[in-house]
Every structure is written in structure tokens, then in C-alpha cells.
Amino acid sequence: MNIVLWIIQVLLALLFLFAGGTKLALSIETLTAMGSPNQVHLPALLIRFIGLCEVLGALGLILPGLLRIRKGLTSLAAAGLLIIMIGAIVLTIMGDGFGAAIVPLVTGLLCALVAYGRWHPAPHGGR
């Protein structure tokens, strides 16, 4: 199961690095013009903030396990990305309908799987 989680984490990290990096690198005009005509339009600063969260979340999926430091952050990063995906699902359904929401839904489910699979509660004081 550890190998499967690592494969999913790497694929999600690549996806979110690309998506978030694009939101950070493109001009404001290009960002606001992208998407379908039915899409809900968000303020440019919110799009930039989401892009930053996606990049940081992608790093959080990989670096704690790779560096073996504070591995619990991986679960938190996946949970944070799941929250972003829930927002993406809602906005996609509002704009383009249920069919277009399949990609963010699957991505969110994979984030939930990583969050659950990497979650290790702190041991209780010996009782």
C-alpha cells in the first residue's frame, strides 16, 4: 500500500504543480479569459492564491516523506488539496454541469485517499 500511495502522491504533486504553477505564471488577463463561457469567474487575486496553495500542497505531498521530517504534514497537505478540489467541483457543476466535474471529483477522491492513508494519529500516553 505504501508504494501505491507514493505513486498517487507523485502524480497528484505533478498535477498540482502544473495547475498551480500555471495560475502563478500566467498574466491576470490570460487567467480571467481562460475557461468556458459558462464558467464561474473568480477574482484574479483569488486565482493566484489558489495557485499558491496548489503549489505548496504539491510540495507538502512529497517533501515530508522524502526528507523524513514531519511526515504528518503529508496528510494535512492532501486534506488541504481536497478542500480546493471540493471548491473546484462546486464551481464546475455551477458552470459546466455534472459531466465536467468528473476530473476534479476523481482528483479529490485521490487526495482523500492519500490523506487517509498517510494519517497516523499520535499515540496516547500508554493507556
Please, which residues have CB within 8 angstroms of residue 126's CB and are 6 or more apart in sequence?
none
Give per-residue pLDDT as tens, 31-88.
777 766 667 778 889 999 999 999 999 999 999 989 998 888 999 999 999 999 999 9
What CA–CA distance (Å, rounded) separates 50 from 44? 10
Per-residue model confidence (pLDDT) at position 107 = 98
Q: Which three cell numbers stand for residue 97?
A: 454541469
Domain contains 59:
yes
The domain of 102 spans 2-117
Tally of domains in the chain: 1
Q: Are 32 and 44 in contact (CB under 8 A)?
A: yes
At position 21, the amino acid (one-letter code) is G
Domain contains 127:
no
Q: Which three cell numbers stand for residue 58?
A: 504539491
Per-residue model confidence (pLDDT) at position 122 = 55
Q: Which three cell numbers stand for residue 95?
A: 458552470
Q: Does the global pTM surpass 0.85?
A: yes
Q: Name the pLDDT band for 124 (thresholds 50, 70, 90).
A: low
Domain contains 86:
yes
Residue count of the chain, please give it: 127
pLDDT higher than threshold 60 for residue 27? yes
Domain contains 81:
yes
Average pLDDT, the chain: 90
Domain contains 40:
yes
Domain contains 113:
yes
Domain contains 65:
yes
Per-residue model confidence (pLDDT) at position 35 = 66
Domain contains 123:
no
